Chains A and B, each alone.
Chain A
Amino acid sequence: MLNIKIALRNIFRNGTRTILTMFSIIVGMIAISIVNGFINYSMWGLRESMIRGGIGHFQLYKKGYLEREEDIAFGYLIDNYKGLLKEIYRSAEVSFVAPEISFNGVLSSGEKSTIIIGKGGLKEEEEKLNSFGEIVEGSFFEDDSFEVMIGEGVAKKLKAKTGDTLTLMAPMKGGGLNAIDVVVKGIIRMQIEEYNNTILISPLKLAQNLLGVDGVDRLIVMCKDTENATKSEKDLIEFSKKNDLELKSWKDLAVFYFQVKDMYNTMFLVLFVIIMGVIIFSIANTMTMNVYERISEIGMVRAMGARRRQILLQFMLESSLIGIIGGFIGVILGYTVASLANLSGGIYIPPPPGNAKGYYSMIKPDFVNVLLCYLAFILTCIIASIFPARKAAKMEIVEAIRRS
């Protein structure tokens, strides 16, 4: 306690110097808080947009579906899905389940034809799942109809518009070709350009009739919110084992999210290391000056019986206090700046590559991360002071006293 009192008084002996040193820590901490807050918010946004853009919180497949060798999944469909849906809905955390079946086929206008990648699903669930981008023309199909939605690129290739009748062909289970005439109800634009050239979304029943099957190839489960989704995971794993299914969570499926996360983490680390470098330099410089100015004092204190270790620790304590105080101020200011930015509506981010719209980002620092950085900075201060502190401790008493 006393050592802290003495240390505090010592660091403010030369107030200007200490404050300048603290400045690098304060600014560093503010930068860390804000950057962390920005990254945190962006990742949250990305995660939710991926989950609510079609991946869902969990996906259930028939066991063997994912590792299957054949291109076509006819042998790995979930046939009894209607019964399974009831059971899944019993979990309190589940918001809805979207059954889907995917298929490859050919869409033809009579004169032109193009390959499509099709998905059959239920209207209500697919709308909630929001996996079809935006509808640029027309509207969503009805469940019991021959209406479909096609990607912009598909429509362009077939010179089709809403209301046109096209022929959809696909191979059936067991072999052979099947064809159904469909009506274009809507034209959609998805975020990823390539999809627009091949996507076709149809009512589930239509797809099942086309393919000659009763089942679906996946069940997409959406929970009430992502934080609580983990509560359902255990139940769903058991459920999937019992029913010969395989469970994948969004964590397995949202690969892009984790790639972005890694990239952001790397950038953040680089920023952190740079700030740490500045702090090391600043602290080492300051502590060296402090030691130099107090040489005779150190000699006296040693003469009074202080051991070398006590001298070393005294200086390291002073350095750590600079870090503790500076870092603390930095955290407070960082959070203040973040709150102000958030209250004013956020920071405008221009459209990322491939997107049309920009967005307003909030700054939401993650407390644990910020705390860890704070502690790391304090440690940095301590380590940076080791060299000058050791010099102080190693001094010969007689030499030191002579300097008075």
Chain B
Amino acid sequence: MKKLILIFIFISTSLFGLNAEEILKIVDSKRGPEGSFLMNIRVSSYKNNELQECLEMKGYIKGNKSMIYFTSPAKWKGKKMLMIENDVVMIFPNTSKPVRLSPSQRLMGDVANGDVARTAFSLDYDAEIAGEEKFNGITCYVLKLKAKKVGTTYNFIKLYVDKENILPVKAHFFSLSGKELKVAYYSELKMLGGSERISKITIYDSIKENSHSVIEFLSMEEKSFPDKYFNVDFLMEM
């Protein structure tokens, strides 16, 4: 059903032109399924192209609720991160209380907590088409994404979307003060959760040279979870 709507939007927009909201919605669908799904994620950090650390985690996503469960390496195993809207809470195995964090806080390397917990832009950002630009020979829509609420992972994003196939190409992320924090490049289309989606995001820190990180989406599966998966007390007991 969803697929039909998308095809319809695709055809109609190719006939009539798309608006920003529509583009963003398609981009989101190229990144992850709508609704409730389970994904396996690998995050790797590099310095001077040498691998520094590699984390593996399971992501339980339900709309704007995400629970990330870390599985590897040993020192991360058992930790859980819960993100509901813009509230992030970290649950450590040997503690009696959860620790409040923010989505923009660094998880590891150049990856922020919000970068793995959220795959859909439209939940948090209002979009506006700022024009068209060519990047690497690809004609792109340039979308200006503004955070809906205070406390979102980023205040402002400049998203480049391939005009032809509405795939995200790259995004520039900015802080509240307008400073560019990172640049992400979206690549490697793979069959994930029944559809072709972006499986690799490469993030470059705009300030630190020689440092970059990679988020790999290894698998996605539409699945439903009980609400308690997103309950702090339950997670503390697990």
Residue positions of A touching B, CB distance < 8 A: 108, 110, 146, 165, 167, 169, 172, 174-181, 209, 212
Q: How far is the CA of A146 from the CA of B106 in the complex (A)?
A: 27
Q: How far is the CA of A175 from the CA of B94 in the complex (A)?
A: 19
Q: How far is the CA of A181 from the CA of B101 in the complex (A)?
A: 17
Q: Which residues of B contact A178 (CB under 8 A)?
A: 75, 92
Q: Which of A110, A177, A209 is within 8 Å of B97, CB to CB?
A: A110
- Shortest Cβ distance from B55 into A: residue: A176
Q: Which residues of B contact A146 (CB under 8 A)?
A: 94
Do A180 and B99 contact each other (CB < 8 Å), given the known contacts A174-B45, A175-B108, A212-B75? no
Q: Which of B52, B94, B96, B101 is within 8 Å of A177, CB to CB?
A: B101
Q: Is the CB of B90 within 8 A of A174?
A: no
Q: Is the CB of A167 within 8 A of B97?
A: yes
Q: What are 18 A-B interface contacts by the 8 Å CB criterion?
A: A110-B97, A165-B96, A167-B95, A167-B99, A174-B45, A174-B109, A176-B76, A176-B106, A176-B107, A177-B105, A179-B90, A179-B92, A179-B94, A179-B95, A181-B94, A181-B95, A181-B96, A212-B75
Do A180 and B92 contact each other (CB < 8 Å), given the known contacts A174-B108, A175-B45, A175-B109? yes
Q: Is the CB of B99 within 8 A of A169?
A: yes
**Does B53 count as interface, using CB distance less than 8 angstroms?**
yes
Q: Which residues of B contact A167 (CB under 8 A)?
A: 95-97, 99
Question: Measured between C-beta atoms, what is the minimum distance from A11 to chain B in Å?
Answer: 82
Interface size class of B (residues with CB under 8 A): 10 to 19
Known pairs A167-B97, A179-B90; list 15 more (Cβ under 8 Å).
A172-B75, A174-B52, A174-B108, A175-B107, A176-B55, A176-B107, A176-B108, A177-B90, A177-B105, A179-B95, A179-B99, A180-B92, A180-B94, A209-B75, A212-B75
Chain B 65-82 interface residues, beta-carbon cutoff 8 Å to A = 75-76
- Shortest Cβ distance from A167 into B: residue: B95
Question: Measured between C-beta atoms, what is the minimum distance from B139 to chain A in Å?
Answer: 36
Question: Measured between C-beta atoms, what is the minimum distance from B84 to chain A in Å?
Answer: 19
Q: How far is the CA of A180 from the CA of B95 in the complex (A)?
A: 5
Question: Measured between C-beta atoms, what is the minimum distance from B86 to chain A in Å?
Answer: 18
Q: Which residues of A contact B75 (CB under 8 A)?
A: 172, 178, 209, 212
A-B residue pairs, 7 tightest by C-beta: A174-B53, A175-B108, A179-B92, A212-B75, A181-B95, A176-B108, A180-B94
Q: Which residues of A contact B94 (CB under 8 A)?
A: 146, 179-181
Q: How far is the CA of A145 from the CA of B84 in the complex (A)?
A: 35
Q: Which residues of B contact A108 (CB under 8 A)?
A: 97, 99
Q: Which residues of B contact A181 (CB under 8 A)?
A: 94-96
Q: Which residues of A contact B76 (CB under 8 A)?
A: 176
Question: Measured between C-beta atoms, what is the minimum distance from B62 to chain A in Å?
Answer: 24
Contact with A along B93-137 (1 / 0, CB 8 A): 011110101000111110000000000000000000000000000
Q: How far is the CA of A212 from the CA of B91 in the complex (A)?
A: 17
Q: How far is the CA of A165 from the CA of B43 in the complex (A)?
A: 33
Question: Measured between C-beta atoms, what is the minimum distance from B108 to chain A in Å?
Answer: 4
Q: How far is the CA of A181 from the CA of B108 in the complex (A)?
A: 22
Question: Measured between C-beta atoms, what is the minimum distance from B143 to chain A in Å?
Answer: 29
Q: Which residues of A contact B55 (CB under 8 A)?
A: 176
Q: Which of A110, A169, A175, A177 is within 8 Å of B53, CB to CB?
A: A175
Contact with A along B20-36 (1 / 0, CB 8 A): 00000000000000000
Question: Measured between C-beta atoms, what is the minimum distance from B109 to chain A in Å?
Answer: 5
Q: How far is the CA of A179 from the CA of B99 in the complex (A)?
A: 8
Q: How far is the CA of A179 from the CA of B97 in the complex (A)?
A: 10
